[in-house]
């Protein structure tokens, strides 16, 4: 997902493919345009592929943040109170 600063408004989202300048774009006025010669299904797949990469990146960041939060809960917890630690982690997940 990139922007073509020469031909598009700054708030336009453009999905590119290697063999064409652009596949699909969402314009500032919320229109979806598919480039001539590109099948709508191919354009939609390209968008899904790009979004999947973004979602995977966000999920990885969220998992890492959750692991760190759990580690902070566990830091300094008495070794003998494993059940209490498990309860604290579960309680945190319900908040």
**pLDDT for 41-90, tens place per residue?**
877 887 788 788 888 888 888 888 888 888 888 887 888 888 888 888 88
| pLDDT value, residue 19 | 57
- 29: buried, middle or exposed (CB in 10 Å: 19+, 13-18, 0-12)? exposed
CA-to-CA separations, 26 to 54, 60, 86, in angstroms, rounded: 17, 27, 46
The pLDDT tens digits for 17-41 are: 555 577 777 788 888 888 888 788 8
Q: What's this model's pTM, rounded to 2 decimal places?
A: 0.46
Once rounded to an integer, what is the mean pLDDT over residues 6-21? 58
């Amino acid at each position: 997902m990139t922007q073509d600063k020469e031909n598009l408004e700054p708030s336009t989202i453009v999905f590119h493919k290697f063999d064409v300048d652009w596949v699909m774009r969402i314009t500032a006025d919320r229109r979806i345009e598919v480039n001539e010669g590109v099948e709508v299904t191919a354009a939609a797949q390209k968008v899904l592929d790009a979004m999947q990469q973004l979602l995977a990146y966000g999920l990885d960041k969220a998992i890492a943040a959750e692991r760190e939060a759990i580690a902070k809960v566990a830091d300094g917890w008495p070794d003998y109170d494993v059940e209490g630690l498990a309860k604290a982690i579960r309680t945190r997940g319900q908040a």
